Amino acid sequence: MKVRSNKFVKSVFCVLIACLFMGSVFGCTDNKGNEGDARTEVVLPDYDSVEARPFIINAWYAPEPTLEAYQEFKDCGFNYVFLMGNNVGTAGSTRIEQALTICDQLDLKAFVDVSSNLYLMEYLVEDYVRHPSFVGFNYDEPVIYKNTRNNREGIVDIGPVVAKIHKNYPDVEFLLNLNPTTSLSFQWGTPSFTYEEYLEAQEEYVNSVYSDCDADNWLSCDDYPLYYNRSARNPYYLKTSWLLNLEYLALAKRDSDIKLVSNFFIQSMPYGTGTRNRLPTYEDIRLQLYTLLAFGYDSVSYFCYCTPSVSAEFQDYQYALVNREGETTEIYESSKKVNTEIKKLANVYMQFNANWLGVCPILGTKNTNKDADYYNKAMDMLKEPLTVARLSGVKSVTSTEDVVIGYMKDDEGNSGFMVVNYNDTTLQAHAEVNMTFDEFTKADVYQNGEKTTVSLKNGVLDIQLDVGEGVFVIPHG
């Protein structure tokens, strides 16, 4: 009996030791916050210590070539300019030379527009490269083949000319600005094509030329979301296909084997006498710019900075940031305020946007498809919308109003989320957003360009979004 008892005790003791050992092992792998949890705390890099590439803020329709006018341009937050329009004339004019000299002095960068004569590039490039401010040339809204409506060259014609310039001047860039998706229904006098084919032509004939160098390889488009139709029940609304157009380029950049730099034009003045005759407010400009950030864009271009001459497209009562008398307007002040916000955020954002993964649309709890004028149809048009389940580390998201969440990562794999209140600004919709994270205990929240570190109770982050506002969220801890 004594021997049997000792064996029994030893057996029980061994079982207890084994259980304790197994418990300690499993405890080390428990990520649920139980005793023994050894989840590694997520510590973010010091983003402020890194000088990322600048976010580019550009504008169409240049100022008069005076030092004062370009200083005012720079003071508004712009760092690039398209040299075109009545104030500077066409490529080859003495005023463009004057403008380049002024840009040299102010450390501004400039594109020279050759939309009216592509072949001027060959004659002007040698003189222009002497200016430190000269970045390259731009060409506006070609289609794939020669446009018989306005005799503009097509992308297939532009490609060989660009390749010739690039061979001799490899640092000279070329920004080809594409038409929006809705323009494909126009009669161009060419064979019809899809938007996918349009983007493929851009990559094959233009982007491929720059695939072997460090010069920026541009992917650009213009389309404007601000609509006004006084005969509609709700006369102010956003263009339904605008998010889709942003997504087309964002996906093309993300999925390309070639490193691309993305740009999109935003509406900063009213134009025409129809649905685009809408004066942009501070909230309108903010909405457009933060939405571009949600789609990972590297650059924004304003349409327009100075007010074009009166024409069928631009009425005598319409104006941009600077009116026809050369005076700044309330749109200038609104743009300056938004640009200041974006520039504060840019250095952190530009450490994430190269790894943009997609956009997740969230319909607000106050939204209802019973009201056709309220329902945000833009959300349904996205080609590859992300679900919340695709957002790493996010358990759930709810919002009182519609939001879009841009999902991106830094080079170490940390997630960043650009959350934007995406509703027409005249609705005065203030969004209350709730993001619940799986395990994170903190979040850096960039609002109005300023960083606040927030402690998360049970992983919950509550965000208050003003009209047209966006915030950048980086969870950690």
d(CA 439, CA 336): 39
Phi, psi of 442 (to 5 degrees): -145, 165
Q: Tell me the percentage of the chain whose pLDDT exceeds 70.
A: 90
Nearest alpha-carbon partner for 268 in 276, 256, 260: 276
Residue 94 Cα distances to 91, 98, 124, angstroms:
9, 6, 12
- Report the alpha-carbon angle 455-457-462, nearest 5: 75
* Residues sharing a CB contact under 8 Å with residue 249, sequence separation 6 or more, in sequence order: 178, 199, 219, 220, 221, 262, 264, 295
d(CA 263, CA 60): 13
Neighbours of 356 (CB within 10 A): 23
Neighbours of 119 (CB within 10 A): 10
Mean pLDDT of 274-290: 97
Q: What confidence tier does 222 reach under pLDDT thresholds 50, 70, 90?
A: very high
Tokens of 9: 């005790």
Mean pLDDT of 289-309: 98
Reply yes or no on whether the pLDDT at 26 is more than 50: no
The pLDDT, as a whole number, for residue 370 is 57
The pLDDT, as a whole number, for residue 34 is 43
The pLDDT, as a whole number, for residue 14 is 42
The pLDDT, as a whole number, for residue 4 is 38
Instruction: Using DSSP, state whether 76 is helix, strand or coil.
Output: coil
Mean pLDDT of 320-342: 98
Question: What's the mean pLDDT when you consider all of the chain?
Answer: 91
Q: Which amino acid is at 369?
A: N
Cβ atoms 264, 242 nearer than 8 A: no
Mean pLDDT of 440-449: 97
The pLDDT, as a whole number, for residue 190 is 87
The pLDDT, as a whole number, for residue 38 is 65
The pLDDT, as a whole number, for residue 148 is 85
Q: Which amino acid is at 30?
A: D
User: Starting from the edge strand earliest in sequence, which strands make up the sheet with 134-140, in order?
Assistant: 56-59, 299-303, 261-267, 218-222, 173-178, 134-140, 109-113, 80-83
The pLDDT, as a whole number, for residue 17 is 40
Q: What confidence tier does 376 reach under pLDDT thresholds 50, 70, 90?
A: confident
Reply yes or no on whether the pLDDT at 368 is more than 80: no
Mean pLDDT of 430-444: 97
Mean pLDDT of 176-198: 91
pLDDT per residue as tens digits for the range 94-135: 999 999 999 999 999 999 999 999 999 999 999 999 999 999
**pTM to 2 decimals?**
0.91
The pLDDT, as a whole number, for residue 374 is 61
The pLDDT, as a whole number, for residue 232 is 86
